């Protein structure tokens, strides 16, 4: 039986808004087909179903099993055509493509002059909006038509089109090289996380320097600069140079505020740039600028001119709420952030088909940290179990590693240490398997394993020993990443000073802002 999450037609229908469903039915009516047409009947049935059930479709008598696949493919195509006609989806990119299609039809009818007129307008529009790939396609079609539409101006036109093709090709090649580099670095970030040793650092550094093309910043357009800053950002994050990541994330976001029309054309890149700017500010603990950037982002997203669609709504939900959690971590106001949990849980259900498992697990980890900082260790464990038991989480191995370490600490704090030895062994084996056992983790596991042999009166002294040992790694180039996932030092200080961990973090935050 096909799963609802795997059946693309069912997922597409469930993603439609009420107005999009209404428009689809109007579109079918305009086709002049009978209202009892099979594909419309299938649409109505799937719209009513709570989950995909092939048996129910076949029992309805709409279609036989042998015809179902073809009917679903036809319905899928008709929905896409209907969506393309929706004014909401008529962005600049679609409009340019539409003009290119019109020009192609006119060319095929032999109406060369009309075709060239449309292409010239579309080309200028594409170049103005940094759509250089489609602009290059337009120039190539213009060259083909000009060879068949003979005029006295052809020598000048040939020179002009050749020059434009060369310029656009140069820009597109640069964009391709930078986007390839950015994508590869992003893949490394998702798979491994930050560099773990000198060997990792040299490997990443060599890859970056080998694949970074030579460039003159003044010659680059918006899109080339965007991919350039992205590549530098991923490189900075990988090597844990967070001041550098802040620098390039700022350049990324400033590109959009310097050319605000690009926010409307590329809202996804705008949202992502702000997210990584906020993440960099979180890592360098610039709480006041973090708060200002988050408020500015929310204002922009909620403004009337900001584009609206399902994908943008999902990303805005993800980035804004994830960073709202980070703000509470920065300020140590864990109790004030608890209201976000219901909002996030609801959002995960609402946007579930558009948010990948990696980001869902990241939200769960942040919620676990929120509960941990608030002293609710049992709920912390509940959310960590969602991550640890996820067998499909192939990305961000470091997230899985630290979820297990935090789970050990949470079990100890909750007094649920009767199975601690089994968990310690399991975690130790997992870290060895992931080749991710570092000094901070070793010291944590060593400390937790020794708890059974420590007398209550000696406990504070042991906490102090562990604190002194871990403090050495706070600014270590590779070990410091452990403190990005869990503020272990503040947790130890809370035991040493008999204060809640939230109070310790809040006091540190206030000290930084003074």
Residue 13 within any structural domain of the chain: yes
Would you say residue 97 lies in a domain?
yes
Q: Which residue, 42, 65, 89, sits at the end of a domain?
A: 89
**Helical residues (DSSP H) of 16-91, grouped into ranges:** 18-30, 38-48, 54-59, 65-85
**Residue 128: C-alpha distances to residues 2, 124, 170, 216, 221 (Å):** 45, 6, 17, 21, 11
The answer to whether residue 309 sits within a structural domain is: no
Tell me: do 105 and 71 sit in the same domain: no
Residue 187 CA to residue 333 CA, distance in Å, equals 33
Same domain, 34 and 72: yes
Q: Within this chain, do residues 131 and 103 fall inside the same structural domain, yes or no? A: yes
Asked whether residue 134 is assigned to any structural domain, the reply reads yes
Alpha-carbon separation of residue 322 from 349, 352, 359 (angstroms) = 16, 15, 10
Phi, psi of 33 (to 5 degrees): -85, 160
Q: Based on the number of CB atoms within 10 Å of its own CB, is 447 exposed (0-12), middle (13-18) or buried (19 or more)?
A: buried
Single out the residue in 151, 175, 198 at which a domain terminates: 151
The answer to the question of residue 161 being in a domain is no
pLDDT tens track, the chain, 514 positions: 344 457 899 989 988 888 889 888 888 877 665 545 788 889 999 999 888 988 888 888 888 888 899 999 999 999 998 888 876 666 788 889 999 999 999 999 888 889 999 999 999 999 988 899 999 999 999 988 888 766 545 567 888 889 999 999 999 999 999 999 999 998 888 776 678 788 888 999 999 999 999 999 999 999 999 999 999 999 999 998 999 999 999 999 999 999 998 998 899 999 999 999 999 999 888 988 999 999 999 999 999 889 888 889 999 999 999 999 999 998 889 999 999 999 999 999 988 778 888 889 999 999 999 999 999 999 999 999 999 888 766 555 667 777 888 888 888 888 876 666 677 777 777 766 666 567 777 787 777 777 667 666 677 788 888 888 888 888 888 777 777 766 788 888 888 888 888 888 888 877 775 4
Q: Confirm if 363 and 348 have CB atoms less than 8 A apart.
A: yes
Q: Which residues contact 392 (CB under 8 A, 6 or more apart)?
A: 357
Rounded to 5°, angle at Cα 264 from 259 and 265: 85
Burial (CB < 10 A; 0-12, 13-18, 19+), residue 101, is exposed
Q: Are residues 97 and 124 in the same domain?
A: yes
Q: State the total domains in the chain.
A: 2
pTM over 0.85? The answer is no
Reduced to 3 states (helix: H, G, I; strand: E, B; else coil), residue 514 is coil
Contact 71, 42 (CB under 8 A): yes
Q: Are 64 and 96 contained in the same domain? A: no
User: Domain check: are 44 and 64 in the same one?
Assistant: yes
In this structure, are 147 and 79 located in the same domain? no
Residue 123 lies in a domain: yes
Q: Which of 72, 89, 106 is the last residue of a domain?
A: 89
C-alpha span between 163 and 155 (Å, rounded): 12
51 plus 72 within the same structural domain: yes
Structure tokens at 452: 């059974």
Q: Do both 117 and 60 map to the same domain?
A: no
* Residue 292 is assigned to a structural domain of this protein: no
Structural domain includes residue 365:
no
- In angstroms, rounded to a whole number, what is the distance separating the alpha carbons of residues 228 and 396? 24
Domain identity same for 58 and 131? no
Residues 20 and 82 in one domain: yes
Q: State the residue range of the domain holding 130.
A: 92-151
DSSP labels, 354-381: TS-HHHHHHHHHHHHHHHHHTT-HHHHH
Would you say the C-alpha torsion 329, 332, 335, 339 has a positive or negative sign? negative
Nearest CA among 401, 396, 291, 386 for reference residue 344: 386
Say yes or no: 17 and 84 in one domain. Answer: yes
Q: Tell me, what DSSP letter sits at residue 348? A: H
């Amino acid at each position: 039986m096909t799963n609802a999450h795997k059946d693309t037609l069912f997922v597409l229908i469930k993603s439609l808004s009420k107005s999009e469903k209404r428009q689809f039915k109007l579109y079918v009516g305009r086709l002049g087909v009978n209202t009892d047409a099979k594909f419309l009947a299938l649409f109505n049935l799937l719209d009513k179903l709570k989950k995909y059930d092939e048996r129910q479709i076949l029992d309805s008598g709409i279609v036989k099993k042998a015809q179902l696949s073809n009917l679903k493919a036809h319905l899928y195509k008709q929905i896409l055509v209907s969506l393309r006609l929706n004014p909401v989806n008529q962005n600049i990119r679609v409009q340019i493509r539409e003009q290119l299609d019109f020009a192609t039809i006119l060319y095929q009818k032999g109406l060369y002059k009309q075709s060239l007129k449309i292409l010239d307008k579309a080309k200028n529009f594409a170049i103005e909006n940094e759509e250089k790939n489609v602009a290059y396609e337009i120039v190539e079609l213009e060259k083909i038509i000009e060879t068949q539409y003979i005029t006295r101006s052809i020598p000048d036109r040939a020179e002009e089109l050749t020059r434009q093709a060369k310029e656009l090709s140069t820009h597109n090649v640069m964009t391709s090289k930078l986007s390839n580099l950015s994508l590869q670095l992003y893949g490394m970030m998702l798979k491994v996380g930050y560099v773990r040793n000198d060997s990792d650092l040299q490997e990443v550094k060599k890859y970056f320097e080998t694949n970074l093309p030579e460039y003159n910043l003044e010659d680059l357009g918006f899109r080339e600069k965007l991919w350039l800053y992205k590549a530098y950002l991923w490189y900075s994050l990988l090597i844990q140079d967070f001041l550098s990541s802040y620098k390039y994330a700022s350049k990324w976001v400033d590109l959009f505020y310097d050319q605000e029309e690009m926010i409307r054309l590329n809202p996804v890149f705008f949202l992502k740039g702000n997210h990584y700017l906020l993440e960099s500010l979180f890592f360098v603990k610039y709480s006041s600028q973090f708060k200002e950037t988050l408020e500015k982002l929310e204002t922009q997203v909620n403004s009337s001119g900001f584009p609206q669609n399902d994908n943008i709504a999902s990303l805005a939900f993800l980035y804004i709420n994830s960073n709202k959690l980070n703000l509470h971590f920065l300020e140590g106001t864990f109790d004030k952030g608890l209201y976000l949990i219901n909002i996030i849980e609801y959002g995960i259900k609402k946007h579930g088909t558009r948010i990948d498992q990696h980001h869902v697990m990241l939200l769960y980890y942040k919620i676990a940290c929120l509960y941990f900082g608030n002293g609710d260790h049992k709920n912390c464990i509940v959310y960590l179990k969602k991550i640890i038991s996820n067998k499909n989480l192939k990305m961000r191995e470091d997230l899985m590693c630290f979820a297990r370490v935090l789970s050990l600490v949470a079990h100890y704090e909750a007094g649920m240490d009767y199975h601690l030895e089994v968990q310690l062994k399991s975690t130790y084996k997992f870290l060895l398997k992931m080749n991710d056992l570092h000094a901070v983790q070793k010291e944590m596991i060593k400390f937790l394993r020794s708890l059974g042999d420590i007398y209550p009166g000696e406990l504070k002294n042991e906490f102090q020993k562990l604190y002194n040992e871990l403090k050495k790694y706070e600014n270590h180039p590779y070990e410091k990443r452990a403190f990005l996932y869990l503020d272990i030092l503040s947790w130890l200080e809370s035991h040493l000073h008999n204060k809640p961990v939230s109070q310790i973090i809040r006091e540190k935050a206030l000290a930084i802002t003074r």
